Amino acid sequence: MVETTDEWILTRTGIRERHVVDKGVATSDLATEAAKCALLQRGIEAQDLDAIIVATVTPDMFFPSTACLVQHKLGAKGVWGFDLSAACSAFVYALQTGTQFIASGAHKKVMVIGSDTMSSILDYTDRATCILFGDGAGAVILEPSEDGMGIIDFQHEIDGSGGCSLYMPGGGSLNPSSHETVDKKMHYVHQDGQAVFKYAVRKMGEVCETLLARNVVTATDIDCFIPHQANQRIIKATADRLGLKPESIIINIDRYGNTTAGTIPLAMQTAREEGRLKKGDLVLLASVGAGFTVGATLLRWTI
Ligand SMILES: CC(C)(COP(=O)(O)OP(=O)(O)OC[C@H]1O[C@@H](n2cnc3c(N)ncnc32)[C@H](O)[C@@H]1OP(=O)(O)O)[C@@H](O)C(=O)NCCC(=O)NCCS
């Protein structure tokens, strides 16, 4: 489709494989499958949930929300929910939002899903973006935990001055869909790769350092580092800056590419499958995404 090589993609990004949905499969379908896996693992029914938060930048449509579509597909009667838009940081933001409902005592079970169908907004003639992203979803269920377990702290920041470095200009209220927006390829991801790369390398390390220092945790205390999977070089630069143990770093970008809100829950699953995420482990999540949006979460794994 574009002039590139497997070697270029692998050395510059770490990506070997990306997954693309069949025509007619949408973000709510991926989200529903991920939700079903999480419910099965936990051994509960969909109607046992209190709320569903879907982190996504590629909803099936503007409205109804993807959360409504997922609720219906799951048959989760009596459950409420909503979508959360923060691009690649959406999962950690949704995780924190869900955590607040649990911490306040309002809810006992909140499902947080990260799901994106990036193939629906990629220009497959643009080699600088189409080689990066894939489709995917993952889900977690949040519940109350014992003292000292679960979500410990977070550090989130947004910086709208970076909006022009990674965005999709068409289809919203500023540039409603028209023949012109289609002709000008405004319904696709537009990215200044180098600007995003430099920002990501700097900020991912920065928010993690702030979070660790505030909690008097050293990098070597981290058992499992689960970063957003945008580029293996960004992950390695962050891990080096922090001084993380090499065995703590979870990387699966080779298998999925950048699935936007899907990467962190997918990487959690990879860590579990590989036996690298166990009860009591101290876990650091980190992300940078369009916006710019930045996030880091410190937690103790409870299952
Ligand atoms: C996109 C990215 C992989 C490009 O890597 P890079 O090392 O910065 O490459 P550059 O943009 O400097 O481009 C270098 C050259 O490779 C070329 N190139 C870009 N994509 C290519 C591809 N798929 N295959 C071959 N060559 C490619 C460029 O055209 C450029 O050629 P030129 O020097 O003749 O102009 C990298 O910038 C990146 O990962 N950025 C962050 C993206 C990201 O994480 N986005 C999501 C955030 S959540």
**Helix ranges, 112-178 (H):** 127-130
Q: What is the rounded end-to-end Cα distance, in angstroms, of the chain?
A: 44
Tokens 């189409």, located at residue: 130
Strands 80-84, 51-55: pairing kind: parallel
Give the model's pLDDT for residue 146. 87
Choice from 194, 202, 264, 293 to test ligand 1 binding pocket (greatest atom count within 8 A of CB): 194
Q: Which atom of ligand 1 is nearest to the CA of 87?
A: 48
Non-local CB neighbours of 41 within 8 Å, separated by 6+ positions: none
Q: Which of 196, 10, 21 shows the shortest CA–CA distance to 115? A: 21
The catalytic position among 68, 228, 231, 252 is 228
Give the model's pLDDT for residue 192. 97
Strands 135-142, 150-158: pairing kind: unpaired
pLDDT at 166 over 90: yes
Structure confidence at residue 38 as a pLDDT band (50, 70, 90): very high
252 has catalytic annotation: no
| Residues 48-52, mean pLDDT to the nearest whole number | 98
| Both tokens assigned to 45 | 């029914």
Tokens 């220092």, located at residue: 213
| Residues 17-28, mean pLDDT to the nearest whole number | 98
| Residues 106-115, mean pLDDT to the nearest whole number | 98
Give the model's pLDDT for residue 123. 98
| Residues 111-115, mean pLDDT to the nearest whole number | 98
Choice from 231, 232, 287 to test ligand 1 binding pocket (greatest atom count within 8 A of CB): 231
pLDDT 10s digits, 63-76: 999 999 999 999 99
| Both tokens assigned to 189 | 């991801």
Determine phi and psi for 146, rounding to 5 degrees.
-70, 165
Write the residue with the smallest CA distance to atom 37 of ligand 1. 193
Write the residue with the smallest CA distance to atom 20 of ligand 1. 128
Strands 293-300, 150-158: pairing kind: antiparallel
Q: Which of 59, 85, 89, 26 shows the shortest CA–CA distance to 263? A: 89
| Residues 278-301, mean pLDDT to the nearest whole number | 98
pLDDT at 56 over 90: yes
CB-count burial class (<10 Å; 0-12, 13-18, 19+) for 32: buried
215 has catalytic annotation: no
Distance in angstroms (rounded) separating the CA atoms of residues 184 and 178: 10
Strands 135-142, 110-117: pairing kind: antiparallel
Any residues with Cβ below 6 Å from ligand 1, and which? 4, 8-9, 12-13, 88, 127-128, 131-132, 193-194, 196-197, 200, 230-231, 258, 288-289
88 has catalytic annotation: yes
The catalytic position among 88, 130, 208, 224 is 88
Give CA separation, 9 vs 36, 152, 233, in Å: 33, 36, 12
Give the model's pLDDT for residue 132. 98
Give the model's pLDDT for residue 147. 83
Measured in Å, residue 12 CA sits from the centre of ligand 1 at 7
| Residues 195-214, mean pLDDT to the nearest whole number | 98
Q: What is the pTM of this model?
A: 0.97
Distance of CA 42 to the CA centre of its chain: 21
Write the residue with the smallest CA distance to atom 8 of ligand 1. 194
pLDDT at 148 over 90: no
pLDDT 10s digits, 211-268: 999 999 999 999 999 999 999 999 999 999 999 999 999 999 999 999 999 999 999 9
Q: Are 227 and 238 in contact (CB under 8 A)?
A: yes
pLDDT 10s digits, 77-90: 999 999 999 999 99
pLDDT 10s digits, 127-147: 999 999 999 999 999 999 988
